[in-house]
Amino acid sequence: MAIRFDGRVAIVTGAGNGLGRAHALGLAALGAKVVVNDFGGARDGTGGSMTAAETVVEEIRKAGGTAMADGADVSNYEQVQAMVAKATKEWGSVDLLVANAGILRDKSFGKMELSDFQKVIDVHLAGTFYCCKAVWDGMKERNYGRIVLTTSSSGMFGNFGQANYGAAKAGIVGLMNVLAQEGRKTDIRVNTVSPTAATRMTEELLPPQALALMKPEAITPAVLFLLSDNAPTRTTLGAGAGSFAQIKIIETEGINLPESEWTPDAIAAHFAEISDDSKAQALEGAFQQTQKYVAQAAARLGIKM
């Protein structure tokens, strides 16, 4: 059965341009009522205007869809709460959330001002937390919710000059891991997308030939899948230029050492074995790691657990 969102209400943050705009248009085309949120600031987060959000709303309405514009700053929890309240009052619920809003303040670590670090954390990580927090109780009450957060290869793998951005984006994966566990009982599914696309955020970072291949619209199918009724949960999808891949954090099988070898020299001696990824696995939660380590120690000591 084809994926559609008839009767669903969605909020897409940072939806005035680029990825967010593509996601908002995609949701509306498949039947969702969409809150097009955009603070309207510059790439570094300065300024502010409703023009971008209102323009996307007009696009949606001209195509026969339903949408409203909102200018909440996602780093301001009171404004985020007001946005959710407005959508709920107008349309009855918020069923879908795409936390996409973001800014860039790239500098090498030695030159990065504390304010540049804090502002990026405030928008990306705290802003994502605020949006999730504002919709969470309503989703729990209705026993339904789909949330897609936006991480980045910078957070997953690292990128020079983006200590602030990379830290925020890695934190978003941690947030997703916990929310996916907490949302299982009430069918709130939480996932992340790791996009690579030609947007206002990346136009100065990539050559023209690469930018031509990476349309924002190439990311939206992954987002729409992760918002669907049959979506997985606790999943990170990489997307860009028509490529789609699942990104996983894995842990090697490792080894268990006797107490007499709890030394840095022993770690050095066994490091190749510790790092052997032939039996690596993606753990489903923090306690699974605890259980694994206890089982390894018990096996070494001949203790039945």
In b/e form, how buried is each residue of 127-148, taking b as 16+ CB within 10 angstroms?
bbbbbbebbbebbbeeebbbbb
**Helices marked H in the chain:** 18-29, 51-62, 77-91, 114-120, 127-142, 153-157, 163-183, 208-213, 220-226, 264-269, 271-275, 286-301
C-alpha span between 18 and 119 (Å, rounded): 21
C-alpha span between 195 and 161 (Å, rounded): 18
Q: Which of 77, 130, 165, 293 is catalytic?
A: 165
Rg value, the chain, Cα: 21
Question: For this structure, is 165 an active site residue?
Answer: yes
CB count, 10 Å around CB of 50?
A: 16
Angle between helices 127-142 and 163-183 (to 10 degrees): 10
The CA-CA-CA angle for residues 219, 78, 8, to 5°, reads 45
Nearest to 160 by CA among 126, 210, 205: 205
Three-class secondary structure of residue 110 per DSSP:
helix
**Which residues form the catalytic set?**
165
